[in-house]
Amino acid sequence: MCLSRFYPDEYAPSVFAIDYQKLFDLGYRGLLFDIDNTLVHHGDDGTPETDALLRRIESIGLRVLMLSNNDDARIRRFLKNLPGVPFVSMAGKPKKQGYLKALEVLGIDRAQAVVIGDQVFTDIFGANRCNIAGILVRFIHPDPAAPIGKRRRAEQLVLRLWQKNERKHRRLHAVRNEGETKAHEADETETVL
Ligand SMILES: [Mg+2]
């Protein structure tokens, strides 16, 4: 089986460690965000930090859209302070339909979009199927000391192979925010490499 279908274009330790200005400068115009374990821990409301981040991204000139397999009520709760942000609920990731609907909502084509999510087998796999760039972020875990499940272990294996595979087109190379990256480096090394 070809694992490259699960490879992201870039990996970042968190949504706060991505250089969004650089994404804009590279020509991207819309970001399709997963919510659960990407922006906040599963089921949590938006926080002042995530609200501020999404507002800052929009001020750069990037549109944001929430692309979630969860339902309307959950997404609206996350967006309670950001009612103008569009979303696609019950997206059925990794199926293509939700991603394509998101592009339609934003009025952009696939080459202008970036998917940001915490799951290799849904968020990133679906992005690759649609030929949309994908950034994998480390999943938010309420207790970093707690054991992780089989799926997360499989994801870490895919990530390790991706990091060794220089042939992978890393079209988003160096979109990490260097300052933020340093702060998360120890964590990342321990959990991913
Ligand atoms: Mg998620």
Distance 61 CA to ligand 1 centre (A): 25
- The answer to whether residues 108 and 63 touch, using CB atoms and an 8 Å cutoff, is yes
Domain 3-191 classified CATH 3.40.50.1000?
yes
- 181 alpha-carbon distance from chain centroid: 16
- Confidence at 170, pLDDT banded by 50, 70, 90: low
The alpha carbon torsion through 76, 33, 82, 74 (nearest 10 deg) reads 10
Q: Of 93, 92, 99, 79, which Cα lies nearest the Cα of 30?
A: 99
Rounded to the nearest angstrom, the distance between the alpha carbon of 39 and the centre of ligand 1 is: 8
192 pLDDT more than 50? no
Percent of the chain with pLDDT over 90: 71
Distance from residue 36's CA to the centre of ligand 1 (Å) = 4
Query: In angstroms, what is the span from residue 117 Cα to ligand 1's centroid?
Result: 6
Q: Is the pLDDT of residue 190 over 50?
A: no
* Contact (Cβ atoms closer than 8 angstroms) between residue 149 and residue 27: no
What pLDDT, in 10s, does the model give residues 135-169? 999 999 877 777 778 888 999 898 888 888 755 65
Tens-digit pLDDT profile for residues 94-141? 999 999 999 999 999 999 999 999 999 999 999 999 999 999 999 998
Counting every residue written for the chain, the total comes to 193
Rounded to whole angstroms, the Cα distance separating 139 from 159 reads: 13
Residue listed under structure tokens 């990407």? 38
Q: How far apart are CA 97 and CA 130, in angstroms?
A: 9
The structural domains of the chain, with segments of one domain joined by +, span: 3-191
CA–centroid distance, residue 152 to ligand 1 (Å): 12
The tens digit of pLDDT for each residue in 10-39 reads 999 999 999 999 999 999 999 999 999 999
Name every residue whose Cβ is closer than 8 Å to that of residue 51 and which is 6 or more positions away in sequence. Answer: 81, 82
Q: How far is CA 158 from CA 93, 124, 146, 163, 164, in A?
A: 18, 11, 21, 9, 10
User: What is the chain's mean pLDDT, rounded?
Assistant: 88
